[in-house]
Amino acid sequence: MTTPPRPSPIYDQYAIAEIQRAAATGIYDIRGGGTKRRMPHFDDLIFLGASMSRYPLEGYRERCGTDVVLGARHAKKPITLKIPITIAGMSFGALSGQAKEALGRGATIAGTSTTTGDGGMTEEERGHSQTLVYQYLPSRYGMNPRDLRRCDAIEIVIGQGAKPGGGGMLLGQKITERVAGMRNLPAGIDQRSACRHPDWTGPDDLEIKIEELREITDWQKPIYVKVGASRPYYDVALAVKAGADVVVVDGMQGGTAATQDVFIENVGLPTLAAIRPAVRALQELGMHRKVQLIVSGGIRNGADVAKALALGADAVSIGTAALIALGDNSPALEDEYRKLGTTAGAYDDWHEGRDPAGITTQDPELARRLDPILGGRRIANFLSVLTMEAQAIARACGKSHLHNLEPEDMVSLTMEAAAMTQIPLAGTNWYPGKPGA
Ligand SMILES: Cc1cc2nc3c(=O)[nH]c(=O)nc-3n(C[C@H](O)[C@H](O)[C@H](O)COP(=O)(O)O)c2cc1C
């Protein structure tokens, strides 16, 4: 008898291939997307539903509200969205103009907001987005005061979940004349965005910045502060102290257009672990539900939406799932993915600009493949399904509004999830670290 070949779980095929690739090229691996390894996530929580001790609502007859108001703390014009699911900031440059337009169209049909990104605001998205959040980023690429006044809210980006502490990348092949013009950069040259704002060194400067932005916009627009999940308890508290109307916490599973693989997989805090500390910071400051919390990073379906809200978020934001809804990684493009050395479901070379779906590209021929009107409808359909799924779960838990979902509606499937969320392990009333347990 012979022993079957035994691959190592440590030196698995990916680890071996990466060592070989690194040795052959001498450069680190860059890719798009979020974490690919298994880590604690929303799948590790489930809802209990209702039976005797809880009373469910009737699916097709009893209302389950979905609206959310963002930014009422200080802004004269807070934002009201029909659904608590927004489109996350994704840069023009990373995405084609057609993709930005489709996101705006879809968000508008669904009654929600979309967000600009590194590189500034395009006419396509401003023109087709009823509610547009304008990102104010460390790089300041594409930033101008006129656009600050044309948006509906401002999001100061401190960091992103995929790379807290890291800056962005846009490789030369995607820097066309138009992208370069908007960023005041030469075309065709690799660009690296700053990892921190040029004019501040800490949270006190954030307070000054927020006031400056409020003055420019006559205190009309809500000001969001976006942080990559890292130390959410302290970061959320500091953002609230600095005057934020809304705080966005983007977990480690969050997507990026282009970052080092080693960064994506090894830096940050899983989304699941970031929500409770963020909520606790708001609660301790008496600001929960007054300063809204938006959570992002790995939201794929209505259950994820419902779980984030039950943990205390006011809304969620989606990036990667929106791109997939637009057609990214579609099996219909399998032949083209094969030519790029990958397969549908695994395509992540978004930085290369050769996306056969026409989404993460600046190649005019490829970009033309994406019909923004059809794309907008797909986004609207997807947002509608996410909402209906979350409502189905909320009704089963007896809730007449998605915001009435609460931690008590769920149990944890793993010890890790229980420890991270303080939601008891299924079948027990215990979680690791429970006081007195
Ligand atoms: C293609 C792409 C481009 C992105 N560009 C930006 C950006 O310009 N600014 C930013 O704050 N975040 C950016 N992000 C991160 C998203 O705003 C968001 O935090 C993340 O996608 C949420 O996680 P999800 O992709 O799992 O939904 C980008 C993400 C993707 C996928």
In a structure prediction context, what are the per-residue pLDDT tens digits for the chain, which is 437 residues long? 889 999 999 999 999 999 999 999 999 999 999 999 999 999 999 999 998 999 999 988 999 999 999 999 999 999 999 999 999 999 999 999 999 999 999 999 999 999 999 999 999 899 999 999 999 999 999 999 999 999 999 999 999 999 999 998 899 999 999 999 999 889 999 998 899 999 988 889 999 999 999 999 999 999 999 999 999 999 999 999 999 999 999 999 999 999 999 999 999 999 999 999 999 999 999 999 999 999 999 999 999 999 999 999 999 999 999 999 999 999 999 999 999 999 999 999 999 999 999 999 999 999 999 999 999 999 999 999 999 999 999 999 999 999 999 999 999 999 999 999 999 999 999 999 999 87
Question: Quick one: residue 142, left, alpha or beta (phi over 0 = left, psi -120 to 50 = alpha)?
Answer: left
Residue 267: partners with Cβ closer than 8 Å, 6 or more residues away: 163, 164, 165, 166, 252
Sign of the alpha-carbon dihedral angle for 237, 243, 249, 255: negative
pLDDT recorded at residue 200? 85
For the chain, how far is it from start to end, CA to CA, in angstroms?
A: 52
Tokens of 429: 């009333």
Backbone angles phi, psi at 129, to 5 degrees: -115, 115
Q: How many CB atoms lie within 10 A of CB 328?
A: 25
In angstroms, the Cα distances linking 263 to 20, 28, 56, 193, 267 are 19, 10, 44, 15, 6
pLDDT at position 436, please?
Answer: 83
Mutate to test the pocket of ligand 1, among 30, 42, 91 (most ligand atoms within 8 A of CB): 91
Nearest CA to ligand 1 atom 30: 256
- Whether the CB-CB separation of 415 and 432 falls below 8 Å is answered with yes
Look at residue 99 and give its three-state secondary structure: helix
Residue with tokens 């979350």: 390
* Residues sharing a CB contact under 8 Å with residue 169, sequence separation 6 or more, in sequence order: 30, 190, 191, 192, 193, 257, 258, 259, 351
257 lines ligand 1 (CB under 6 A): yes
Protein residue whose Cα sits closest to atom 10 of ligand 1 = 89
Residue with tokens 């257009």: 257
Q: How far is the CA of 429 from the centre of ligand 1 (A)?
A: 37
pLDDT of residue 413: 98
Question: Which of 35, 87, 160, 192 for a ligand 1 pocket mutation test, highest count of atoms within 8 Å of Cβ?
Answer: 160
What stretches of 129-194 show up as alpha helix (H) in DSSP? 145-150, 177-183
Ligand 1 binding pocket mutation candidate from 133, 226, 256, 360 (most atoms within 8 A of CB)? 256
Q: What are the backbone angles phi and psi of residue 46, rounded to the nearest 5°?
A: -135, 155
Quickly list H helices, 243-333. Answer: 261-266, 271-284, 302-310, 320-326
C-beta of 296 in contact with ligand 1 (< 6 A)? yes
Report the predicted TM-score, pTM, of the whole model to 2 decimal places. 0.97
pLDDT at 272: 98
What residues contact residue 99 under an 8 Å CB cut-off, 6+ apart?
90, 323, 326, 358, 359, 360, 367, 370, 372, 375
Residue 60 φ then ψ, to 5°: -95, 0
